[in-house]
Amino acid sequence: MVTNDEFARLTGCTYTMASKIRNGARKPSGSLLTRIILVFELDAQEATEAYAGGAVPFGDFVSAKVFNAGVQMEDVG
């Protein structure tokens, strides 16, 4: 599981921006989107489609693929 601090450090954005992206309150810039895809080795087409859908779909995508990656439901409950 990646924290907002780790996400920010790895992608070069602020903690606040990481939090806003994660929560669907803000879309990243195009250059930040590229860094997110590269750093976390995401499928570029999937990421771009989520990005095109707006802040909330992209936040859901990043939450699932980056922030909660590897977390099983039994780990959460």
* DSSP string for residues in the chain: ---HHHHHHHHT--HHHHHHHHTTS-PPPHHHHHHHHHHTT--HHHHHHHHHH-HHHHHHHHIIIIITTT--HHHH-
Q: Which of the four pLDDT bands, split at 50, 70 and 90, describes residue 76?
A: very low
Is the pLDDT confidence value at 73 over 50?
no
Q: Which of the four pLDDT bands, split at 50, 70 and 90, describes residue 69?
A: confident
Domain edges within the chain? 4-70
65 with 40: CB under 8 angstroms?
yes
Q: Which residue has the higher pLDDT, 8 or 69?
A: 8
Q: Which of the four pLDDT bands, split at 50, 70 and 90, describes residue 77?
A: very low
Is the pLDDT confidence value at 55 over 90?
yes
Q: What is residue 71's predicted lDDT score, i.e. its pLDDT?
A: 53
